Amino acid sequence: MRINTTKFGEIEVSDDTIFTFVEPIIGYEHLSRYVLVEHNENSLFKWLQSVDDENLAFPVTAPAFFDIDYQFEIPTEAAEKIKLTTVETLISLNIVSIPNANPRKSTINLLAPIIINAANREGMQIILSNSNYPVRYPLFKDEQVSVNS
């Protein structure tokens, strides 16, 4: 299948790479199909591109790539919704906000991770309850120091 995207032009995606979100990404309730796009080889970032809206692509990454100590429990009801039975099929990503003016001031949303069951390609965004994780955590260590001091 070919899809048009604002960021990457027309791209070819196979049906078995499309994720269906059984619960929407916050603010995008009308969209449920996404694909992960690797724009640059060996990049720490990927793009979660909407299949149905060519203008919507979220930069995503894993906090571990940036030495961020990050652990959370997936609520049972969320695991059931995406039919997740083993951690081996879990893909966990976090949305990144990258300001055009200064990419070093990028932040990562630790409060609302994206979880995907790779076995059936179903996913959702969850909001962690009883968590002190912020929505905007500085991605780069030098920015963490300046924000926290």
* Residue 137 confidence (pLDDT): 97
Q: Which of 44, 21, 43 is nearest to 32 (CA)?
A: 21
User: What is this structure's pTM?
Assistant: 0.91
Which regions of the chain are under pLDDT 70?
Answer: 143-149
Phi then psi dihedrals of residue 49, to 5 deg: -95, 130
* Residue 14 confidence (pLDDT): 94
Reply yes or no on domain 2-142 having CATH 2.30.290.10: yes
* Residue 143 confidence (pLDDT): 62
- Counts for the chain of helices (H) and strands (E), in that order: 2, 11
Distance of alpha carbon 95 from alpha carbon 108, whole angstroms: 6
* Residue 149 confidence (pLDDT): 43
* Residue 140 confidence (pLDDT): 87
- Specify the 3-state DSSP secondary structure of 53: coil
